[in-house]
């Protein structure tokens, strides 16, 4: 799918990958870009740069996503591309509290569910539409902090389910699984596992946006910033126990590039 003349919505668009994505979509000639973020001021700043629309949205609240979809369709007539990009990292392991598990669950997984519930019926009526789910290599490799890895793992499965269920009905799905990207989430990470290792081979948000645009153009399900992730996945399918041992070693290496 080409971005030109498309109506795109980007959640978590106030900074990081989401902001880079919104800017890139505008540069590609999108008809309209709606920038949604919990920080409405940040969304507004990005939107003002690109001639888009900035809105404050808490993706953990389903009604706010329903309202976002309805307002966008009412204003622009359609949504061609919905990017569920917002995410949260807690940075803890066994000591993750129930409240933090709930926060990770709501933002990293249920926000994708809420968005799909709101926008897929609209896309089905038109017979076409595109969903981009920003997940993480952590969702494929089960590394990073506990709640992040687990909820992102679920988000991968949900993206797969969406593609399997609606792929023959005009709905295209891409699952974006970056490794280290120089965003506020990474630079401010408190995870002893994540931050030093990820920074070693981190890419810029603009590089992530480039990968996304190329992936959407090719209509690929799995979009990566670091191609070695695919090799890790091949090893997982070939020998699960050996792969687990490899992931233990990989996670312990201070110069690794996990996410």
pLDDT of 125-169, one tens digit each? 999 999 999 999 989 999 888 999 999 999 999 999 999 999 999
Q: Is 41 helix (H, G, I), strand (E, B) or coil?
A: helix
The reply to whether 12 falls in a domain is: yes
User: Model confidence over 167-207: pLDDT tens digits?
Assistant: 999 999 999 999 877 666 655 544 444 455 566 667 788 99
Rounded Cα–Cα distance for residues 192 and 213 (Å): 32
Catalytic annotation on 148? Answer: yes
CB 36 within 8 A of CB 8: no
Domain-embedded: residue 258:
no
Nearest-angstrom CA–CA distance, 43 and 18: 10
Please indicate, yes or no, if residue 257 is contained in any of the structural domains. no
Residue 79 has pLDDT above 60, yes or no: yes
pLDDT at res. 121: 98
114, 130, 148, 166: which one is catalytic? 148
User: Is 81 part of any domain?
Assistant: yes
Q: What total number of domains does the chain contain?
A: 1
In a domain, 17, yes or no: yes
Domain that holds residue 163: 7-252
CATH number (domain holding residue 136): 3.40.50.720
């Amino acid at each position: 799918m080409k971005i030109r003349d498309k109506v795109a919505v980007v959640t978590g668009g106030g900074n990081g990958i989401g902001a880079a994505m919104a800017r890139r979509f505008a540069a590609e000639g999108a008809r309209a870009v709606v920038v949604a973020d919990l920080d409405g001021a940040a969304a507004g700043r990005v939107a003002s740069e690109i001639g888009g629309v900035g809105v404050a949205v808490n993706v953990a609240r389903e009604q706010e996503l329903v309202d976002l979809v309805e307002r966008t369709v009412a204003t622009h007539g359609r949504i061609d591309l919905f990017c569920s990009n917002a995410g949260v990292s807690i940075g803890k392991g066994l000591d993750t509290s129930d409240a933090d598990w709930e926060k990770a669950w709501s933002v990293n997984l249920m926000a994708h569910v809420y968005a799909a519930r709101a926008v897929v019926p609209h896309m089905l009526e038109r017979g076409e539409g595109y969903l981009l789910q920003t997940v993480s290599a952590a969702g494929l490799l089960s590394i990073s902090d506990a709640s992040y890895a687990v909820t992102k793992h679920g988000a991968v499965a949900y993206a797969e389910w969406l593609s399997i269920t609606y792929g023959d009905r005009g709905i295209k799905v891409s699952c974006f699984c970056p490794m280290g990207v120089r965003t506020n989430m990474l630079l401010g990470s408190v995870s002893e596992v994540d931050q030093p290792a990820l920074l070693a081979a981190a890419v810029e948000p603009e590089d992530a946006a480039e990968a996304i645009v190329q992936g959407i153009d090719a209509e690929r399900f799995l979009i990566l910033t670091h191609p070695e992730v695919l090799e890790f996945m091949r090893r997982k399918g070939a020998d699960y126990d050996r792969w687990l041992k490899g992931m233990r070693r990989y996670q312990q290496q201070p110069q690794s590039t996990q996410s």
